[in-house]
Amino acid sequence: MRFLIRVSGIIQLFILVLPFPSNINASETPSAILECMTGNLPASSSIQNFEFRSESVSDDTSEDSYETGVRVLRASVYLSEYSDGQRRVLAYFHEPFEVRGARILLIEKASGNETFLYAPVFGDVRRLTGRHVSSSVNGTDFSYEDLEQLYGMAKGREMNRLPDSELNGRDVYVLQFRSEAGSGSTYQRVDVYVDKQTCVNMKMELYEKSERLRKVYMVDHDSLRKVNDQWVPYKMTMRDIRNMTETKLILHKMEIDVAFPDDMFDQSRLKEFKVQ
């Protein structure tokens, strides 16, 4: 069984989900599965305190050949959904010292998302375009484009439902997203594994051009907790297959439905932003 649908609005490939026991059956379309997922995001706003742990990895784990170097970053991430349904994400980095005060602002727009960056070393706010959107976020294995996907801001893709599968002993739906011509995406396709019981996105496989697997995103199922009746994964990993590196994303604290100032997510105020 295979369904195809063009998704012109938001593609939700998220971090946060609500407890939403699935009653989707095998005859449902990809849109029904997507609706199950999109219905689970916080309705208005949230604050998340994250730790990024980046390290080199190797399949050869012998003592002589295995080398690892760990770099730890800490950041607060603010999410707000506006009345028009468009989302904005602001990330503020606290540690280490060399990135302290760096800020990222993602603005979702129907005409095309915008990404802005402020770092004290620059002294001004810069808009990222083209290949810079696919570059690493402060040396982690997450790119700016990856953050858009995780916060449900990716657009303009065709969606297929692939045969159902099993992941770590749990039944999952499998959705495949293919970038449309001219989208500017780094990824030719993204395969998403959705837990049937909770509609949590448990795994993503991100493929570059020529169908080459570039990254794998995984959620640690044992880390799922309830926060204000929401299922929240507290441990996730993004592995870069080509570079043989990975970044663990650890959520330490989260608040939901937080009131933010109206101009908090304005790029003209990014330089003056202060941690809430």
More confidently predicted of 112 and 165: 165
Q: Look at residue 161 and give its three-state secondary structure.
A: strand
148-183 per-residue burial string, b: 16 or more CB within 10 A, e: under 16: bbbbbbbbbbbbbbbeeeebeeeebbbbbbbbeeee
Query: pLDDT digits over 79-105, tens only?
Result: 998 888 889 999 999 999 999 999 999
Q: Which helix (H) or strand (E) holds 207?
A: strand 201-208
Most distant pair of Cα atoms in the chain: their distance: 56
Structural domains for the chain: 3-59+68-258 (2.50.20.10)
Per-residue confidence (pLDDT) for residue 238, from 0 to 100:
98
Query: CA 172, CA 163: separation in Å to the nearest integer?
Result: 9
* pTM for the structure as a whole: 0.84
Select from 63, 77, 72 the least CA-distant residue to 96. 72
Per-residue confidence (pLDDT) for residue 83, from 0 to 100:
82
Range with lowest mean pLDDT among 57-66, 144-153, 227-236: 57-66
User: Helices marked H in 2-143 — which ranges?
Assistant: 30-38
